[in-house]
A = this chain, B = another copy of it.
């Protein structure tokens, strides 16, 4: 998968995922990897900065949770502002896809 195509889609992905409930970083990576059948692996160098940025803008929040074995995980949860932002982003995404589709022709 061409990395250039991915640019800008990360926040959309993350917010969409977090809509389903809080998740921690590693879990996000694994989830994406599994759901895409391995074709797409979110890289840590892309994930964590993106997560931190979304938190800085209050679109998501984070909290540490200790597991039974004593280890800690940092969970991220979507915030109201993030939900609104997601809605806007989705609209933008659809516009974008329609736009490109109009030039390259429909999928089939």
Which residues of A are interface residues toward B (Cβ below 8 A)? Answer: 1-9, 12-13, 16-17, 32, 35-36, 39-40, 89-90, 92-97, 99-100, 102-105, 107
A40-B93 in contact (CB<8A): no
A39-B5 in contact (CB<8A): no
Measured between alpha carbons, how far is A97 from B99 in the docked complex, in Å? 13
Given contacts A12-B100, A35-B103, A97-B107, 11 further A-B contacts (CB under 8 A): A2-B89, A4-B7, A12-B104, A13-B103, A13-B104, A16-B103, A17-B103, A36-B99, A39-B95, A90-B104, A93-B100
Measured between alpha carbons, how far is A64 from B57 in the docked complex, in Å? 49
Measured between alpha carbons, how far is A96 from B4 in the docked complex, in Å? 11
Closest 7 A/B residue pairs (Cβ): A4-B8, A7-B7, A5-B8, A16-B104, A16-B103, A5-B96, A4-B7
A5-B93 in contact (CB<8A): yes
B13-A2 in contact (CB<8A): no
Interface core residue of A2, A7, A93 (most chain B CB under 10 Å): A2
